[in-house]
Amino acid sequence: DPNIKGAASEGVLANFFNSLLSKKTGSP
Amino acid sequence: LALLEKSREFFQICDREEKGFINRADLQHLQTELSLSSNELQDVFDVLDADQNGSLTLEEFTTGFSQFLFGEKTI
């Protein structure tokens, strides 16, 4: 199901970019 | 414009050797920094690597970033 795959992809991307965002904001 | 700047910034974090592209090994290096598993980073790479050629360009990376921000592919 492409919808399920799409949702899973978004979750994976969200984790990745959220981690990058918090890494940036967490550094001085 | 802010999207592009942020995307370029993140791209440079991943592309430490300034090759101009990101490969799977580059993402794996971020495993400890980003607290993501190897499998998760593999999935991220697969999602971002739209043409599945094994390297991520800034354009592909930006497309993925905008997909994350806006929920769909806008670039």
**What is the per-residue pLDDT across B31-47, written as a single tens digit (0 to 9) for each?**
999 999 999 999 999 99
By CA distance, what is B70's nearest residue in A? Answer: A10
As a whole number of angstroms, the distance between CA B68 and CA A10 comes to: 6
Q: Are B27 and B14 in contact (CB under 8 A)?
A: yes
Indicate whether A21 pLDDT > 50: yes
B66 part of contact set with chain A, CB < 8 Å: no
**Of B26, B65, B39, the residue nearest A20 (C-alpha):** B65
CB-CB: which of B9, B40, B71 is closest to A10? B71
Q: How confident is the model at residue B67 (pLDDT cuts 50, 70, 90)?
A: confident
ipTM for the whole complex: 0.86
Cβ of residue B33 closer than 8 Å to a chain A Cβ: yes
Question: Which parts of chain B fold into alpha helices (H)?
Answer: 2-14, 24-29, 31-34, 38-48, 58-70
Query: Residue B52 corresponds to which tokens in the numbers above?
Result: 């599945």
For A4, the token pair is: 């399920």
B16 touches A: beta carbon within 8 Å: no
Place B70 in a pLDDT band, splitting at 50, 70 and 90: confident
Chain A contact for B34 (CB, 8 A cutoff):
yes
